[in-house]
Amino acid sequence: MTTTSLLLDAERARAAHLDEEISALEQILSELRSERAAIQDRLDAYKFPVLTLPNEIVVEIFVRTLPPYPRAAPLGSTQKLLAICSQWRAIALATPELWRSIRFQKQQASFGASLKNALRKWLGRASSLPLAFAWDFDPSIIDTRDLISAISSYRSRWDILNITILKRYLQLLSGPAPALRELYLCASDGDVAPALSGPSAHLLRLHDAPLLRSVVLSQVPIDPETMPWQHLADLTISGLRMVNCAVALRAATRLLHCRLEIVSGLPRDYNQTIESPSLQTLVLTHASRKVENSSGMRCLSFPALRRFQCSLDIFTGIDALSENHLAGFLDRSGCHLEVLLLSGVAPWIVPIYRQTLSTQRVGTIARREVPPRKMACFLWSKDEWWEVNVEGDE
């Protein structure tokens, strides 16, 4: 055997030995890598325990971080959930409750096509859930026509609207609203865009709204065709004449709670009875000043009335709401008044009304201006509100 052959045999043997050592080391390295991966998994789970929660729990946490429906965080805030991690992004995108309520900011009001695209993307995540829209910026400064156009595309899914618009755009809200339950609408006379044409440009026409129950209208012109009044249970009207409010009171035959902030009373020659057979709660006050030259409460009749708050200075002169004037109203209504709250009077006058009206639960309350943006509050329709404000029995 030659020297060359011996050297080659030695090299082959050495190579085989190295292969065995490499294989053994690779096995050790594989085991080490597996062990390290297992340790890292445990470390990750320990460092981020929230990622180990079931998806149902994470969904509940997400939903509870937002204001309770129908209140909404500003448009875009829910988007932040998509940027935390891929797992949370997938959960957020698959949770329709996170995307069903939108509160627009003033800087988003005039985005035109981009606003519609963003809205389409956002509401696409809400699946088929009913929707709530809100904004409260001044429409006389910021044109809301793009916003109204954008949300009108989702009319069939309107659940709650809480918005402020120009009177000239009321017609843009008109149409069927089959899912609408609550409407809070403040109208302004501002002028930032050309007026819509047509005789009914300033009139709202909501029809096919069988679920509508709660409505707040501030300076919104109304007539019998404005909405299906007969479905309403709660109604607030501000900034209109009493003769306009009478239209709603007559038509709202199932109305339970009503707040009227009027700018003028009924004409003295008004002779039509205004009766709301189911009305239990009435708050009657003036929007900004005393109401003069009116027929007082002579034409009003509410046989189911239980709770009544009124401003005694709402009428002047011979129509001032004296204890006898109120007694006549209650006798004419044939109601059994349980609670009477008076504003605009000193506490010492309470016993006089208690004795005259045979109503023990009489109290006084400071007159509060209700800003249009806060009109969505129906606390005054709750028993608890009256319990807190009324003076106790003596």
Percent residues over pLDDT 90 in the chain: 30
Domains in the chain: boundaries: 44-212, 229-394
Give the global pTM: 0.78
Residue 192: φ, ψ to 5°: -125, 0
Contacts of 202 (CB under 8 A, 6+ apart): 167, 168, 170, 171, 221
Beta strand residue intervals within 118-256, DSSP E: 131-134, 158-166, 175-176, 182-188, 206-207, 214-218, 234-241
CATH class of the structural domain 229-394: alpha beta
pLDDT score for 318: 46
CB 171 within 8 A of CB 202: yes
Q: What is the mean pLDDT of the chain?
A: 80
For 264-312, the pLDDT digits (tens) are 777 777 778 888 899 999 998 876 655 554 556 678 889 999 888 887 7
Number of CB atoms found within 10 A of residue 142's CB: 18
